[in-house]
Structure 1
């Protein structure tokens, strides 16, 4: 792992910790006495501070140190977690994020001014206690090393032997020493030079040094381990916890040569880790009388530390060497309590999905050829291969699936800030956070969801006074819910507020010329008017909404993801916006049809049914562009006309594929029906971006290129044509 990779890991983990920090800060408002939450919050900031110190990001260390002081008082119950303190800590969290993202040499004056304001606010809390509520006092400087005085009962021993290639991987051993100072005070540090070669043989890019360190710290074993997380594979590290028995030290010393062992034992005595008698016992090797006794008894060591420490010796370079040994005297797998994850860049997953798509296409081609001309064994082999490819495809797609809860959680903060701005009491209820969908979809729906959430807070939910006058509780509820439905995920944004005013929407639509006075509309058609560009029923423009910008963008964004949006509402009871999205954008189930020599793939989810279109009906129906489907008027699109298929011969037998999107049905006139086909969607490229009605392309099993239809765009085109016809006839009538 080189320095760039290590830095990227730092940035990724810091951002994850900042997300956790925000979630915890919001949770604490509902559970202010939860000690586990307070400890977890402290660990988030402490880890960011320590990691930043290791890389020399002093601009991050300085500010996080001040925040850490406040959180330390909070977990010690010296501060009450109020809404004002929560707001200040949330703003501090935002500032830490900006500091992590910013180059320390390019911090703007605006950021510096904002930091000064935050430090002033934090300073006011530094000396405030729940007992005295004393006034503000000066905050301790943001120094890296401000730990308590040496206490023999808290002495850790850390032994480091760096790999010769550590510099080549972009690591600086001194960076870890600086990092270690964030956990406590380094009482002593001995530099090991035994491995230094003669000057003529020295490689300036190789590391020959090691360290023996005595650390005075109240940190936990996990905190000490975390310091060396980036370098575990590049050095031999042994950690001996405070209060360890002399037998533990002896076990560690046994691996060294006699002369080095003698030197290490002398250092242990010199640094106050062992007593004079224990020193003699280790020198002579006669430790039977001391093997189970804690070291440094003459220093007044606290025996309780040995009994409460989960481990007293951890050899991070031998994670599995003595897994069956006693916890108090043997090395332990330092990663045993960590969930086993592999961090993989998203572009590598995208490349894998792309290759799997090619594999699906190739597999389809093999199956087609086997069916055409292969013998029985060949057909069976092709069928088995097709099944395996399907399994590989499903497993690969599953790698990109992430819980939507990661997206939902960010709305806790948004709802909190918006409710404060509007002076409303709003509770956000989250359900279905474990529902999974493609990571690329999660990223693309965040903005539409944000707009819908803010809109529900502003327009949907009433203030407390109005809610009470309507017999509701003062607190409004906004509900986010997600669940799977067949090959889709459904996301619902619901509120228990005003509901949509049908008459007001209709009136605004008439005013803007979107509908006609004598036009009869269903509830769903009225609700869909709010997605028209520039449409708004807000009486005044606010920072949140009222300009008529946004809902049309929301609908277009959802449709661009091959999804749909539905609105449900009852006056005075609230509204629900229901989004229906595919689980993935990479591969779809399609229905194949052809027009002349052109082949088209229709998303199977949109197909309602297929019907014959007899020759005798074609001539009459073509005059009006609709047919009577069991008493229902069904407009249709002849695809040979719409896409201007070259060399198309009229008068042939045709079929109609009935498709549905957002409650609207349209017939697609085709020649032949070829059935279902799993489709790997390929983008058309910028050259074809202007084409309406196409979502992409795919390669069929026989090598032919087929176009994937965009059903939503086709239905929208039909609606525009119908409206134009209605308008022209209406003008003729008047």
Structure 2
């Protein structure tokens, strides 16, 4: 076995379990009596500890064992869920995560600071720890193991484990007593008899071979599967028989009777009821295949001592109650992210190559060749969509991480704030999810600190004392929209203007729309906070938020209403790799417009410009449409084409037009970054390679839209364009 690979698998699974554990603990605050959530928390801690035991990760085992004891009390209704208990369990969850990262990922022992933190947590956990907690085992071969010689009073029966280690166990690097130590963490070893009958005479004795066996009576509430997992690494080298107590047999029968009226394979019924482990089933099936007479599986399992006859009869009866149905279960394959990235890159190159082949086919004017390249292009498009879909992940996992943030920050601020999540199933590219986490974190903390008022101020304003923060996600016109909404005091328009004038960001008398005023908070160093707190107030961060969002080819806008709250809306592309584009030409340069933002294309005629008084807008079917001449915007040389066209684009509910010379049609576009030298280039978000090898630039539509609207408003302000009816309506 590749232990490094096994440890990496444990690392991934442990982190997933810790996320589930934290989510369940946060949900228990509002529903403390939910037994399913309590069971989920206990199972997560138990699995983390149990898997750590297989690798001898003592720091993780020792601390998680204490947490598991407390959770066991909660599960058995001997300890009630409370806010202080949830708090210390969440901190314990964080510490287990730290131990997992330190011991497994970095391969180091905990630092003195980590040990001091753990000691403080242990003292706080002692308040809830049961008086007769199951201690970690004490002695066996210099290592901790607990053995009780007398059966405990009041027990309803004991597991009996008959264990015979294989001769090659030592050579395979396994130590028999380590499995017994781990077994003791699941319960109490009541009696244990060492079987030495297989030891040969001393003349034939080989110290590298194992001849030990054990007969063990074991008191535990664990399932048969959990007990069998203790010996997972030596299962193929040993003979193991696990006989359940009478009380467990009754549980198996009751559980099997409660199963749906669906007939399944015999082994599946026994495994599902807990009477048989999967390993025992596999062994029985293997023996059934090897024997020529093909005996019945039930007879083999009974002969091996793997299952009781009473349980087998109940399973056979259940099997005959209905027709056989196959259970369909969704299977997942873990694929490293870098392999997916390599696949997307190869698909991108395939798109470029397909475009080049299609261009050559058109130049050759061979109908059969054109038809063949058309089919290839269609298949490449399907492959592209399938490959991109592999990297799509729901935003809900990112949103759920903020449950803990909102809880901790609201307690730190002394505010009562609840987080509402909607649109958690909305999917977007994994690379976008990874990069949007930090901007979302800053916006959420800022909304809690500056947006939502204290309970007293909210009551005075006639609001509920509990503030609400909402995270929402949805798809809109080929983009994903993320919304952060609070029901706080809203943005103070006058204070923002005052601060902007004080810092010379605005000049006196300058007229701005509400959206432009709100966008001032994204200026570097800008803050309207009256005092600096540990969370915010220094004016550092909001400019970084906007810069990071723009780096993802996204945009951010603010909407606020005094006394009612603020809405931050972030628009992002679904993917950063490959998009459908619309190719245009301006002079000798080629540009690509994201196809999902294109509404229509119209010809720009002299007649349409007659009533505009030289301003850059036209009347499009009764609607004022501002436009940007790309030749002028990018300072391209040459004269405009004889026929100019307007590509009408839309983003975030705003429309504008882009004046181009020629419309060249749709194009699958592989996005290539421009490099750090061109990061500040306005109006351009990337580049792509055309089929003929030429370079085309991808237009940044949000930036061009804002440029068109600002220019039109500036012209209207300077020309004093009269009545409100004559002012453009920017939709």
Give the TM interval when normalised to the shorter protein: 0.7 to 0.9
Cα distance change, pair 502–686 in 1 and its aligned pair in 2 (3 A): closer
> Hey, what's the Cα distance between the residues in 2 that align with 1:166 and 1:373?
70
Q: Which residue of 2 aligns with 1:278?
A: none
Q: Which residue of 1 aligns with 2:456?
A: 465
Offset at 1:723?
11
8 Å CA contact 1:28–1:37 kept in 2: the answer is: yes
8 Å CA contact 1:188–1:215 kept in 2: the answer is: no
Offset at 1:18?
0.7
Residue of 528, 533, 536 corresponding to 1:537: 528
Q: Which residue of 2 aligns with 1:304?
A: 250
Residue of 112, 115, 126 corresponding to 1:112: 115
Q: Which residue of 2 aligns with 1:154?
A: 159
Offset at 1:431?
1.4
- The CA deviation string for residues 362-384 of structure 1, in whole angstroms up to 9 with x for no partner, is 33333334444365544444333
> Hey, what's the Cα distance between the residues in 1 that align with 2:277 and 2:21?
29
Unpaired segments of 5 or more residues in structure 2?
139-143, 256-272, 290-295, 299-306, 320-325, 720-731
Indicate whether 1:361 and 2:352 are aligned.
yes
8 Å CA contact 2:625–2:656 kept in 1: the answer is: no
> Hey, what's the Cα distance between the residues in 2 that align with 1:620 and 1:178?
90
> Hey, what's the Cα distance between the residues in 2 that align with 1:643 and 1:227?
73
> Hey, what's the Cα distance between the residues in 1 that align with 2:213 and 2:346?
48
- The CA deviation string for residues 81-139 of structure 1, in whole angstroms up to 9 with x for no partner, is 111111111111111111111146442222121111111101122248xxxxxxxx999
- Paired residue secondary structure (1:696): strand
Q: Which residue of 1 aligns with 2:58?
A: 58
Q: Which residue of 1 aligns with 2:141?
A: none
Indicate whether 1:46 and 2:56 are aligned.
no
- Paired residue secondary structure (1:312): coil
Cα distance change, pair 599–348 in 1 and its aligned pair in 2 (3 A): same
Cα distance change, pair 165–237 in 1 and its aligned pair in 2 (3 A): closer
Cα distance change, pair 64–639 in 1 and its aligned pair in 2 (3 A): farther
Indicate whether 1:706 and 2:696 are aligned.
yes
Q: Which residue of 2 aligns with 1:341?
A: 332
Q: Which residue of 2 aligns with 1:250?
A: none
> Hey, what's the Cα distance between the residues in 2 that align with 1:154 and 1:490?
56
TM-score (norm 2): 0.77
Cα distance change, pair 237–353 in 1 and its aligned pair in 2 (3 A): farther
> Hey, what's the Cα distance between the residues in 1 that align with 2:672 and 2:587?
22
Cα distance change, pair 670–376 in 1 and its aligned pair in 2 (3 A): closer
Q: Which residue of 2 aligns with 1:594?
A: 585
Q: Which residue of 2 aligns with 1:89?
A: 89
8 Å CA contact 2:477–2:597 kept in 1: the answer is: no
Indicate whether 1:406 and 2:397 are aligned.
yes
Q: Which residue of 1 aligns with 2:303?
A: none
Unpaired segments of 5 or more residues in structure 1?
129-136, 245-293, 295-300, 730-734
> Hey, what's the Cα distance between the residues in 2 that align with 1:367 and 1:67?
64
Offset at 1:399?
1.5
Q: Which residue of 1 aligns with 2:75?
A: 75
> Hey, what's the Cα distance between the residues in 2 that align with 1:634 and 1:442?
34
Matches for 1:601-640 after TM superposition, within 5 Å: 601-607=592-598, 609-612=600-603, 626-627=616-617, 632=624, 634=626, 636-639=628-631
Q: Which residue of 2 aligns with 1:297?
A: none
> Hey, what's the Cα distance between the residues in 2 that align with 1:2 and 1:192?
34
Offset at 1:413?
0.5
8 Å CA contact 2:579–2:670 kept in 1: the answer is: yes
Residue of 523, 540, 565 corresponding to 2:514: 523
- Paired residue secondary structure (2:128): helix
> Hey, what's the Cα distance between the residues in 2 that align with 1:166 and 1:692?
67
Offset at 1:214?
4.7
Cα distance change, pair 226–446 in 1 and its aligned pair in 2 (3 A): farther
Cα distance change, pair 577–690 in 1 and its aligned pair in 2 (3 A): closer
Q: Which residue of 1 aligns with 2:722?
A: none
Matches for 1:196-275 after TM superposition, within 5 Å: 214=216, 216=218, 217-224=220-227, 227=230, 235=236, 241-243=242-244
Cα distance change, pair 659–3 in 1 and its aligned pair in 2 (3 A): same
Q: Which residue of 1 aligns with 2:375?
A: 384
- The CA deviation string for residues 605-637 of structure 1, in whole angstroms up to 9 with x for no partner, is 44455454569999999x988455668584635
Cα distance change, pair 365–635 in 1 and its aligned pair in 2 (3 A): closer
8 Å CA contact 2:165–2:210 kept in 1: the answer is: no
> Hey, what's the Cα distance between the residues in 1 that align with 2:360 and 2:120?
72
Offset at 1:6?
0.9
Offset at 1:669?
4.4
Q: Bigger CA drift: 566-575 or 43-52?
A: 566-575
Residue of 551, 561, 573 corresponding to 2:542: 551
- Paired residue secondary structure (2:485): strand
Cα distance change, pair 189–316 in 1 and its aligned pair in 2 (3 A): farther
Q: Which residue of 2 aligns with 1:456?
A: 447
8 Å CA contact 1:236–1:317 kept in 2: the answer is: no
Q: Which residue of 2 aligns with 1:575?
A: 566
Indicate whether 1:316 and 2:279 are aligned.
yes
Q: Bigger CA drift: 533-542 or 137-146?
A: 137-146
Offset at 1:16?
0.5
Q: Number of residue pairs matched?
A: 652
Offset at 1:387?
2.7
- The CA deviation string for residues 519-553 of structure 1, in whole angstroms up to 9 with x for no partner, is 33322222222222222222111111111222222
Cα distance change, pair 627–49 in 1 and its aligned pair in 2 (3 A): same
Cα distance change, pair 485–414 in 1 and its aligned pair in 2 (3 A): same
Q: Which residue of 2 aligns with 1:260?
A: none
> Hey, what's the Cα distance between the residues in 2 that align with 1:48 and 1:525?
51
Residue of 696, 702, 715 corresponding to 2:686: 696
Q: CA RMSD in A?
A: 4.5
Offset at 1:9?
0.4
Q: Bigger CA drift: 543-552 or 313-322?
A: 313-322
8 Å CA contact 1:432–1:481 kept in 2: the answer is: yes
Indicate whether 1:493 and 2:439 are aligned.
no
